[in-house]
Chains A and B, each alone.
Chain A
Amino acid sequence: RKEVEQDPGPFNVPEGATVAFNCTYSNSASQSFFWYRQDCRKEPKLLMSVYSSGNEDGRFTAQLNRASQYISLLIRDSKLSDSATYLCVVNGGGSYIPTFGRGTSLIVHP
């Protein structure tokens, strides 16, 4: 089993749709969690951190479920500009070694 798994997609949705991605992780000692966004031929950039109580930033909501070992990202009212690859990152163990998922591709169409 891979340490961090994501559905690669692509998720193809119309503007205004709500879309959700999940990311599962295998290391129960994982300590910090993030969602990054990567545009084509660009570097990954932080979208948001994921807190135990869940957190929201505008149209984006992130949740952590430690019992089931997954994190989620919900995007409401999708925009064309949301089209990108979304990567989850899990920092595990005492050394905070980061592991990236392979990413989920989102395509928002008019």
Chain B
Amino acid sequence: DAGVIQSPRHEVTEMGQEVTLRCKPISGHNSLFWYRQTMMRGLELLIYFNNNVPIDDSGMPEDRFSAKMPNASFSTLKIQPSEPRDSAVYFCASSLLQGDTQYFGPGTRLTVL
């Protein structure tokens, strides 16, 4: 079975543009996580879904960030408008059950100029 799939792998955009990151979790996994990683702040949980329902979004930085999970096999993280401080690696991860091992995708490296 394929692991967690993320797209794009790299994204370079200009300040003010909309950015959409995509994630396909491992088939059958019920929990999905979006993380952001920077040198300054480490790995931060942005939002966590269980059975497609957002359980905790307290890590979402501000209203410019939104995440959706319309079905069990797809999720998006959108930033609108993007700012240079959003530059980071964004990881998606999934787990079979809550509290279980998380499997990470390869990440999307975002650069906002």
Binding site for B on A (CB under 8 A): 31-32, 34, 42-46, 49, 87, 89, 91, 95-103
Contacts and interface: CB of A to CB of B under 8 A. Distances in A.
Contact of A99 (B45, B55, B91, B105): B45
Given A43-B91, A43-B104, A43-B105, A95 B43 contact: no
A34 B58 CA distance: 22
Q: Is the interface of A mostly helix, strand, loop or mixed?
A: strand
Interface string B73-113: 00000000000000000010000001111111111000000
B107 A100 contact: no
Given A49-B101, A95-B55, A103 B33 contact: no
Given A44-B43, A46-B103, A98-B102, 14 more contacts: A31-B99, A42-B106, A46-B102, A49-B101, A89-B102, A91-B99, A95-B48, A95-B98, A96-B99, A97-B45, A97-B56, A98-B45, A98-B48, A100-B42
A60 to B, nearest CB: 15
Given A91-B99, A95-B56, A96-B99, A44 B104 contact: yes
Contacts, number: 46
Interface residues of B, number: 19
Q: Which 8 A-B pairs have the closest CB atoms?
A: A96-B99, A43-B104, A96-B98, A102-B42, A100-B43, A32-B99, A91-B99, A46-B101
A97 B101 contact: no
Contacts of B107: 43
Interface in B4-18: none
A53 B43 CA distance: 28
A102 B106 CA distance: 19
B101 A98 contact: no
A99 B33 CA distance: 11
Given A45-B104, A95-B98, A98-B102, A87 B55 contact: no
11 contacts: A42-B106, A43-B105, A46-B102, A89-B102, A95-B56, A96-B98, A97-B48, A97-B56, A98-B45, A98-B102, A100-B42
